[in-house]
Amino acid sequence: MPNIANATRMELTRLKNQLATTRKGHRLLKDKQDEMMRQFLSMIENYKVLRQLVESKWLKALDTYDYAKAYHYEAELKEKFLVPATSLELKYSKSTVMTVAVPEIQVSQKVDPKITYSFHGTNPVLDEVVVTLASNLNDLIALAAMDKRIRILIREIEKTKRRVNAIEHILIPEIIDDIKVVRMKINEAELSNTIRIMKSKDLILKKLTKND
């Protein structure tokens, strides 16, 4: 609520300018929210496709691993996979989605899996497990990065939505109410001033008539 002492034309102009600026900021935030939602929905579609691909390869590798148990004890299989089949160097960077920083992760070199267990006494089906998992590695890393980007974008969309709602339902109505109060006080002051002038005019006229 504005101070009654500040109920002036200058204060009314200030509030009107503040309202115009606030509405402009609200439109910009709303546009940002809409664009982030559009990119989010597009990202979700790509995420679903990539996730299905990763899961299908992962399940295939698990099925093959389970099949290998028919030829090897589980403890023996675990021992054969103690040494990693490959190593990776990842390149980390950041990009922006509507001024929001999101991670980018890339594999620096081609994945070239190596068989680290002895071929002697080992069923060839294990090789298929290694190849399947290796072919899934790049997509798995891309999926992890995409998942992180989506989570960051969701938080930013929620934060922007709260700001948009606060401006639309709290700040703008408060400024409009302040403008109404200031305008009412100005009208009251002008009416009071008009009445005072009219009374002064009547007194002057009465004095002039009496003197005549």
Question: What CATH code is carried by the domain that includes residue 113?
Answer: 1.10.287.3240
Q: What pLDDT does 76 receive? A: 79
Q: What pLDDT does 177 receive? A: 93
Q: Are strands 100-107 and 90-97 parallel, antiparallel or unpaired?
A: antiparallel
Query: What is the distance between the alpha carbons of residues 156 and 142, in angstroms, rounded to a whole number?
Result: 21
Expressed as residue numbers, the domain containing 87 is 4-211
22 residue type, one letter: T
Q: What pLDDT does 73 receive? A: 78
Q: What pLDDT does 1 receive? A: 53
Residue 104: both structure tokens together: 């980018």
Q: What pLDDT does 157 receive? A: 93
Query: What is the distance between the alpha carbons of residues 199 and 203, in angstroms, rounded to a whole number?
Result: 6
> Going residue by residue through the chain (212 aa), what tens digit of pLDDT does each one get?
555 556 788 999 999 999 999 999 999 999 999 999 999 999 999 999 999 999 999 999 889 888 888 877 778 777 777 777 677 778 888 888 778 888 888 877 766 767 777 777 677 888 888 788 888 888 888 899 999 999 999 999 999 999 999 999 999 999 999 999 999 988 888 787 777 777 777 677 676 676 65
Q: What pLDDT does 111 receive? A: 65
Query: What is the distance between the alpha carbons of residues 32 and 30, in angstroms, rounded to a whole number?
Result: 5
Query: How many domains, the chain?
Result: 1
Q: What pLDDT does 51 receive? A: 94
Q: Identify the burial level of 130 via C-beta atoms within 10 angstroms of its C-beta, where 0-12 means exposed, 13-18 middle and 19 or more buried.
A: buried
pTM of the model: 0.72
Query: What is the distance between the alpha carbons of residues 107 and 90, in angstroms, rounded to a whole number?
Result: 5
